[in-house]
A = this chain, B = another copy of it.
Amino acid sequence: MAGGPHEAPRTAVPSRCGNCAIRGYSPCGGLRDLHSLDRLDRSQAASRFVASGSAVFGQGDAATSSFTVLTGWIALSDTLADGRTVILHFALPGDVVPLEFIGDRSSRTAFAIDDATVCAISRARHDILRHEDALYADRYLAAVARELHLAYDHFVNIALSSAGERVIKLLWELAIRNLRRRPATGETILLPLTQTQISLSTGMTPVHVSRTLARLRKDRLVDFKNHRMTVLNVAAVERLAGISEDTMALWLGAMMRGPDQWIGDH
C-alpha cells in the first residue's frame, strides 16, 4: 500500500450534463448521452446531492423520476415487511438507477453508499423523449436490458456459489465496473462499501462476510479493508470467480454499442 489507493480513472468523454455542469460522468454505462441530447429540455433535468446513507427515493414513493448517477455510488434495495433487507444492485457513476417503472409507485429503495450526486429526469419527460427520440429509446431499452442481465447474473451467483465465490464475484464486478478495466495484481481499489453492505447484497450475515474476507486474505486472493480492496493474485481471483468473456464485456459496457448497430441495420 505504498502509494495508497487511487480513484478509478475514468475516460474523459465529450458528452457532459449541461444542466449539472459535471463532465466525464458516463463513458458508456448506459444512457451515455442521456443528458446531452439536443431534445432534452434543460429546465426539466436537475442535479441533486444525496448525502451518504440517505435515500434518493423509498419504497412506496411516487415514481416520478428516472435517475442517473453522476458521482458516488447508489444502492438499490428492497426491504420486506418484517425488516429483512437485500441490496439488489449498485449503480456507479454513469449508470441509470434501474427503475422498473411499473405502476406509479416505486417498489424499491435507492440510497447513497457514499456522498453522491444524481441527475433526475421526470417520468413525463422521459416518456416524451422515449417517443420522440429513437436514440434515447434505444439507449434506455439497452440500459434496462443490461440491468436485467446483471440481475440474472447476480441470481446465478447467489443460487450456485459458496460464500467465498459470492463475495469475490461481487468485489470483482464492482472493481471492474469502477475501473472500467481488469485490476492488476498489487493494485488497491477504492470501493466505498461496508462489510454489512456486502452481506446485504450476497444474502449472508455480516459475521460470515468478515470470516470470508479473512479467508480470502489468508489465501492471498484479495485484502479488503477500510473501503479499499488490494488485489493479491488476479489469476487466483479469476479462477475462483469464474468470469466469462461475455460477463466481462457486460461489466465493461462494451456491449452497449449493440443498439447503435441495430439502428443501422434497416
Contacts and interface: CB of A to CB of B under 8 A. Distances in A.
Interface of A: 78, 80-82, 84, 86, 88, 98, 100-105, 107-108, 123-124, 127-128, 130-131, 134, 137, 140-142, 144-149, 151-152, 154-156, 158-160, 202-203, 242, 244, 246, 249-250, 255-256, 258, 262-263, 265-266
B159 A265 contact: no
Nearest to A106: B246
21 contacts: A78-B156, A81-B244, A98-B148, A100-B145, A100-B152, A101-B145, A102-B255, A103-B258, A107-B244, A123-B262, A127-B263, A130-B141, A131-B134, A141-B141, A144-B144, A144-B145, A144-B148, A151-B152, A151-B155, A158-B159, A159-B202
Contacts of A128: 266
A86 B148 contact: no
A102 B155 contact: no
7 pairs of A and B residues whose beta carbons are closest in the complex: A159-B203, A151-B151, A100-B149, A100-B145, A148-B148, A103-B255, A86-B159
Copies of the protein in its oligomer: 2
Given A78-B156, A130-B137, A154-B155, 6 more contacts: A81-B242, A84-B160, A98-B148, A127-B262, A144-B148, A151-B152
Contacts of A80: 156, 160, 242
Contacts of A155: 86, 88, 151, 154-155, 158
A147 B150 CA distance: 12
Contact of A78 (B86, B107, B148, B152): B152
Contacts of A147: 148
A102 B149 contact: yes
A241 B80 CA distance: 11
A102 B146 contact: yes
Contact of A258 (B101, B152, B262): B101
A127 B142 CA distance: 12
